[in-house]
Amino acid sequence: MCGRYVSATPPDQLARFFGAASLVGMPGDPDERYVGNYNVAPTQGVFTVYESSGERLLDRFHWGLVPFWAKDPSIGSKMINARAETLAEKTSFKRPFATKRCIIPADGFYEWKKVDGHKRKQPMFLTTIDGSPFAFAGLWEVWSKDGDVDATGEPRQLFSCTIVTCEPNATIADVHDRMPVMLPPDAWDTWLDRDNRDLEALQDLLVPAPSGLIRMHPVSTEVNNVRNNGPHLVDEVEPVTGG
């Protein structure tokens, strides 16, 4: 699964990278600098690239997909990931797989590696070789509660998303039995196109990324606590050794 990741690239740069119009405002003071999130956790707001009315957009969605039929949004905490192999079968995911696919940008993500002779696992940080953002395949959905409207009388809506996972590549297999699907640039148009209903062809995109794309190093156990944040979390540390 993918349960914790890094989102450090400012939204205006993400919008340019993914060719999207940004709906995310930047700080009003030009002297303010974007403060990235180095310990993104489920149920937080996360940057999401999606298509609406033929336009590619960047916005913040709730991480943890809330199906349109859910009675309340708490179900989303159990749907932070979706297995690629069963997207077309699961009640929660088959509709968004057909019509609401997205990309969730990440500057890296964390996994926890077992260490012989130790109860505590070693957190590892995984990022791209060239430092560019990952493009995690995702699904999105819109949920609203009956009778809940905003000041204008429009339904109050919750936009949520989930990260699609697949079997691991050789780099990640030693750490975890799943990995996020990482879409290459030449697959972005196909994945985001809401008119594309060729589920078989879309399923073919959901494969492990090449091992050569990813580098990995050990990081501090500070990342284990979601209250800890800051760029120091991705600094390389001496790994815990067996014994």
> What residue ranges do the domains of the chain occupy?
5-23+35-234
Specify the pLDDT at position 97: 98
161: number of Cβ within 10 Å: 31
H-assigned helices in the chain: 11-18, 94-99, 170-173, 188-192, 199-203
Specify the pLDDT at position 30: 47
The SS3 call for residue 114 is coil
Task: Quote the CA–CA distance of 106 and 165 in Å, as a whole number.
Answer: 14
Q: What percent of the chain has pLDDT over 70?
A: 91
Q: What percent of the chain has pLDDT over 90?
A: 83
Using the predicted structure, report yes or no on whether residue 202 has a pLDDT greater than 90: yes
Specify the pLDDT at position 118: 83
Nearby residues of 60 by Cβ (< 8 Å), 6 or more positions away: 24, 45, 46, 47, 48
pTM of the entire predicted model: 0.93
Specify the pLDDT at position 24: 87
Using the predicted structure, report yes or no on whether residue 14 has a pLDDT greater than 50: yes
Report which of residues 220 and 27 the model is more confident about.
220
Specify the pLDDT at position 240: 77
Residues with active-site annotation? 2, 111
Residue 88: band (very low, low, confident or very high) from pLDDT cuts 50, 70, 90: very high
Structure tokens at 112: 């926890």
Task: Quote the CA–CA distance of 220 and 234 in Å, as a whole number.
Answer: 8
Question: CA torsion 176→192→105→168, rounded to 10°?
Answer: 10
CATH of domain 5-23+35-234: 3.90.1680.10
Report which of residues 29 and 226 the model is more confident about.
226
Report which of residues 156 and 127 the model is more confident about.
127
- Residue-averaged pLDDT of the chain: 92
- Predicted confidence (pLDDT) per residue in 109-121, tens digit: 999 999 888 888 9
